[in-house]
Structure 1
């Protein structure tokens, strides 16, 4: 049985929601407390057993490559000053091979995944999107890989969203359910408001069989005039079963401003050295705002 050891992390988006901060800085490098968002994604992949990662970048994303490169001067400085805790954090992703490829044109998520086809070859692989951070006892991707190993079928991570949010996501039309796993009639990319077949939304974690590239090779445009990964998944579902899995864990949306702020605050108060001070600050801020209003 082929195991899932490779992962694709698409990181070629322009990050327009965070302008002007992302004019010169990749949105994937915006920090949540003291760690770039993309590092949370890479660490989840490592904890899930991934050994090789390819990050699909675009113009202006050199900072991502620099972040995951070795910095001998910095590491030596930390070693000399016996700052071993910081050294460990700097080397947190050193036990995985990270490769990079450019998406030369912004043609959509499906196209970004297609750009990594030669790296993947004829193996099952994972895709992790950087807009979704998931905190869970068992890594989100590991949950999907376990399901893949049980079924040998592609597995898509989903969670429930509110009715008014369904138009923002790929949505599944579920069929039979077994525990947290669903058989799926259809996968629909960003259905129009009021037409969604369910509230189960695709949440940026995928384990896919390589046959998906048969459909991505066609470069057919879907919603927004882009090559959509969801469309290719639906076509794959027509020739071999593709499951959806309602994964366990708290998912954070860091792809838009309010979600980014909420994630930063929640992860900050999960840190022992920050919790009390942040909670005190938030309490004081709320009280002062009430008084001023």
Structure 2
């Protein structure tokens, strides 16, 4: 017994598409639509930011990577200067230079103090400010003022407070450290960490205040119905509710802290005493600008970028930023 199969007739000019008869042929979009999408106007609006990222971030980073493989030297435009290729020699020097290693250790101490303090204090203060009824605007502005105040002006106040004969030492009396805070090899970096935490706290408080507006009030009512007090509601409702903001605060405080420069440069006269408050960015400035070794400074910068990326990845991983 034979089984006959019905096959569509294909004429001389017909195309064999491999699709069942009657199915609409696949339409290939024009090239410009496949590249720009159905709404090319979006590229026009995003073009300024794209140019900004390329010019301000991508190009300098690529040029820094290029410089790090050469014994680079800045020269006048058009001048012919020998810039020999040195391969990984600059990176080898980074990992053997005691000053660079010390600066990375210093910034690690800074981050260990600054980042937890920033997260805890900004969340606590934001929660308190969120529940304030009277003088709310005044209190919020008060915490934000140090952040927008010029660092040079604020540094003058801290030098007055923490100098050898400053107000803090006068209050402490015999308990005051000797040598004083900013000239003490053990206390200079913690003092800078406290200064940066205080100065930038207002910015992170605003981030948490914005996040607290998205925590449903019904959750607090349910927690109160179940007998939870303010402390239990804080840890069971507030902390989980602002977790995305916490991840953001962790990342921002880490990136900003790792790029520490202004505070040690102004407070301790350039990383003193004996490099105890130096930072990688400060060492980059000293090597690249003051001592004329921009290739080596670029290598320090690339290592710093990798260092920050590793810490940021670990923070994002363990803080639950992927959920």
Instruction: Tell me which interval the TM-score lies in, with the shorter structure as reference length.
Output: under 0.3
More helix by share: 2
- Which structure dedicates a bigger proportion of its chain to strand? 1
Q: Which has the higher contact order (CA 8 A, sep 6+)?
A: 2
Structure whose alpha-carbon radius of gyration is higher: 2
